[in-house]
Amino acid sequence: MGQFFSDVVEQALQNIYYDVRTGRGQESFRQLEQASASGDGDASCILARCLCGYQYTWSGHGFPEDDRRAEKLMRKSVEQGSAVGVLVALRSGELSPAVERTMGFSSLQEAFEVVREKAEMGDPFCQYTVGNVYFWWDFLRIQGKDKNSFPSHEAFKAYLRENISQCEEWFWKAFRGGMYHAGNNLNQYYRKGDEDIILPQPQKAEGIFRIGAERGYPTHQYTYAKELDKAGRKEEALEWHKKAAEGGELDSWYYVGVAYEEGRGVPRDVSYAAKCYEKGLSSESIGCRNRLGALYMDGNGVPQDYQKGVKLLEEAYRSGNKWGLVYLGRAYAKGLGVPYDHGKARELLEKVTWENPEKDYLLGMLYARGLGVPEDIKKGVEYLKKAPGREDAREELAKYKKTLFGKWVRR
């Protein structure tokens, strides 16, 4: 047996939390399922967290999200006698009075003491759990107290302050032990404080993500890289994005790809950029879809493939991102990878709110020729005049003239 939990649970904590770079998260997930079915309440608890999304486990593991199954597992972990399951169920809102009656402890305080003992002996997950008890005010229910338990409002606030502040030490211990989530909570604790009870201490938050990055947490390497980029330290940011990407934080591939596509701090290499964007697709990265889609449309760094380009750009657009609208407008206006649809081309292009000469050329052509819209040469010419630097716009504009009466007509 492990020092704090069963061997399966301790290995799962290692693979799922403390060292995500092992790439063995899915393997541990399956082992947790078997252990949970065999009666291991701690396994049921960790398995439930795995099903609750990126706020509870690293998105790079690729675990499915299933809230209903997670709820059942949390209740099951309590019934199976897991002390940490009791506290996590309390935190997640699953510890109803009926579920509480099924736990194998005489009180919530007893369950808390079991977890606290493991935390004091050095288990990072328990340290994080104890920290959350203080951070989220769960100590009130555990201790059976509320504002009516105190002679004055000030006495109640003093009690809250004494308890809430204990999260800081526990989060630091958990953070250094491998729980990057504890670093996230520390950052929030320092930057926001807690109502008028704990004042913000933003200076203490500085460097938290650097520490996490240096400890090898891919998600903090990604966050730290963005901090560096914002500060103008582009080359350092790129190195951390590379480490994050190689460690499994797939969103970082977008930033690595952009650096190589544009030659920011590295020799320009569009083919390598395309490979980076390809790796980021499995993270549902909108940026990777847009950039790779554009490369396929232009045949830049990859063989030209309009169908692939349109598919990627439309996936990004369906997510609410307009970056690729000009490419899509071009595709529908000229039948590139999709059937001609001048009406859709115009609709897409008119959603472009930024200056873009190609957009102006395409809209000018559509209006002047009456493609997908009633012919309006005057309006078409107005658009074409906004793109004087484009040869195709000049050629199109040359097809029209203004009569003595001021009307635009075809030549």
Which residues are CB-contacts of 381 (< 8 A; sequence separation ≥ 6)? Answer: 364, 368, 397, 400, 408
Tell me which of 264 and 7 has the higher pLDDT.
Answer: 7
In this prediction, residue 326 has a pLDDT band, given cuts at 50, 70 and 90, of very high
Nearest to 364 by CA among 402, 341, 403, 396: 396
Q: Is the pLDDT of residue 4 over 70?
A: yes
Looking at residue 191, its amino acid is: R
Q: What pLDDT, on the 0 to 100 scale, is given for residue 344?
A: 97
Nearest to 222 by CA among 191, 198, 265, 255: 255
Do residues 134 and 163 make contact, with C-beta atoms less than 8 angstroms apart? yes
Q: Is the pLDDT of residue 282 over 90?
A: no
Q: What pLDDT, on the 0 to 100 scale, is given for residue 16?
A: 96
Report, as an integer, the average pLDDT of 248-277.
Answer: 96
In this prediction, residue 395 has a pLDDT band, given cuts at 50, 70 and 90, of very high
Beta strands in 183-298 (DSSP E): none
Nearest to 160 by CA among 174, 176, 143, 175: 143
Nearest to 219 by CA among 258, 257, 179, 188: 179
Report, as an integer, the average pLDDT of 187-211.
Answer: 96
Do residues 82 and 113 make contact, with C-beta atoms less than 8 angstroms apart? no
Please work out, in degrees rounded to the nearest 5, the angle formed at the alpha carbon of residue 337 by the alpha carbons of 253 and 346. 95
Q: Is the pLDDT of residue 219 over 90?
A: yes
Q: What pLDDT, on the 0 to 100 scale, is given for residue 75?
A: 97
Give how far Cα 109 sits from Cα of 112, 113, 115, 163, Å: 5, 6, 10, 14
Do residues 157 and 197 make contact, with C-beta atoms less than 8 angstroms apart? yes
Report, as an integer, the average pLDDT of 148-168.
Answer: 97
Q: Is the pLDDT of residue 284 over 90?
A: no
Domain boundaries, the chain: 7-208, 341-411
**pLDDT (tens digit per residue) in 45-103:** 999 999 999 889 998 899 999 999 999 999 999 999 999 999 999 999 999 999 999 99
| pTM (two decimals) | 0.86
In this prediction, residue 283 has a pLDDT band, given cuts at 50, 70 and 90, of confident
Q: What pLDDT, on the 0 to 100 scale, is given for residue 1?
A: 61
Q: What pLDDT, on the 0 to 100 scale, is given for residue 218?
A: 95
Please work out, in degrees rounded to the nearest 5, the angle formed at the alpha carbon of residue 109 by the alpha carbons of 105 and 112. 85
Do residues 67 and 96 make contact, with C-beta atoms less than 8 angstroms apart? no
The percent of residues above 90 in pLDDT, for the chain, comes to: 93
